[in-house]
Amino acid sequence: MKEYFMNEALKEARRALIMKEVPVGAVIVKDGRVISRAHNLKETLSDPTAHAEILAIRSACENLNNWRLNGCEMYVTLEPCAMCASAIAQARISKLCIGTFDPTAGACGSVIDLLGTNSLNYCVPVEWMYNEESSIILKEFFKMKRQ
Amino acid sequence: MKEYFMNEALKEARRALIMKEVPVGAVIVKDGRVISRAHNLKETLSDPTAHAEILAIRSACENLNNWRLNGCEMYVTLEPCAMCASAIAQARISKLCIGTFDPTAGACGSVIDLLGTNSLNYCVPVEWMYNEESSIILKEFFKMKRQ
């Protein structure tokens, strides 16, 4: 099932790529069912907070009418930045599955680790899925940008 | 002028207090003019990302039709958390003025420092205003909650 949900997140990332957005996608799963899905829309919405993770969290909370996402898992194609990692923790997401790491801005261990330490009063278990496609789609995007 | 803008942020915090939200307010200023203002609406909107800073950023970007807030200053009554500090940096806000520190979750020096180091590829100059009212209104809120 984990691969299935990461593939759903990848479908979102591909939608972002078509829109010339940095291709990152996320889904939130509760009781084995996808309850929200989103991709990066920063340029399209002119909103610096419109990362896949933030949009997926806002949509899940709207669906559940609750800001607490206890018992929910997030699958995201790229390691979250500090904004998103903190939002994931504050939304009380129970588990985070990450497709690939972000050596430039990743806040789940690559540059800093906001979720693994208890300094901010929350910890979220992280599983690294080393999903090759998550990484390839980003490389494609940046290659396209340079052309 | 700095005191005037912090007072405008405080007016927002007071609106949050009336709504039984944690009383934090923020305004964004460009060319000496307030271009957006917001207060915490996390409970009201059932949205864990609906902190004053995030809402003020989204509103300013909508007004300017641009996700880049270069040349803008934010005045916020309480030290931003990691989510908000990272959002402030990613929105390219040029300066951040903070009313009071947050020893439990502050990400501008109190618990961690996301804006003063270059580890995440951005720095935002921070000015601490040590505004007594910013702190008093929070104490009032938590006293009210305990009753």
Residue in B58, B112, B121 closest to A49 by CB: B58
Report pLDDT digits (tens) over B87-138.
999 999 999 999 999 999 999 999 999 998 777 778 999 999 988 999 999 9
- Residues B112/A85, Cβ–Cβ less than 8 Å: no
Which of the four pLDDT bands, split at 50, 70 and 90, describes residue A2? very high
- The token duo for A120 is 């901010």
| Catalytic residue (one of A53, A62, A127, A133) | A53
**Known binding residues of B:** 51, 81, 84
- Residues A25/A11, Cβ–Cβ less than 8 Å: yes
Report pLDDT digits (tens) over B56-94.
999 999 999 999 999 999 999 999 999 999 999 999 999
Report pLDDT digits (tens) over A3-58.
999 999 999 999 999 999 999 999 999 999 999 999 999 999 999 999 999 999 99
Residue B27's pLDDT is 98
For residue B145, pLDDT over 90 is answered with no
pTM exceeds 0.90: yes
Residue in B66, B90, B112 closest to A83 by CB: B90
For residue A128, pLDDT over 80 is answered with yes
Q: Active site includes B62?
A: no
CB count in 10 Å sphere of residue B62: 14
Residue A135's pLDDT is 93
Report the chain B residue with the minimal C-alpha distance to residue A64: B46
Q: Which among A91, A7, A127 is positioned nearest to B46, based on CA atoms?
A: A91
Which of the four pLDDT bands, split at 50, 70 and 90, describes residue B146? confident
Which of the four pLDDT bands, split at 50, 70 and 90, describes residue A136? very high
DSSP string, A71-98: TEEEEEEE---HHHHHHHHHTT-SEEEE
Are the Cβ atoms of A48 and B91 closer than 8 angstroms? Answer: yes
Mean pLDDT within B6-25: 97
Q: Number of H helices and number of E strands within chain B?
A: 5, 5
Which of the four pLDDT bands, split at 50, 70 and 90, describes residue A96? very high
- Residues A74/A86, Cβ–Cβ less than 8 Å: no
Residue B50's pLDDT is 98
The answer to whether B41 faces chain A, any CB pair under 8 Å, is: no
- Measure A41 CA to nearest chain B CA, in Å: 11
Pairs of residues, one from chain A and one from chain B, whose beta carbons lie less than 8 Å apart? 106
Count the alpha carbons within 13 Å of B57 in the hemisphere toward its beta carbon: 32
The answer to whether A35 faces chain B, any CB pair under 8 Å, is: no
**ipTM at complex level:** 0.95
Residue A146's pLDDT is 84
Question: φ and ψ at A26, to 5 degrees?
Answer: -145, 145
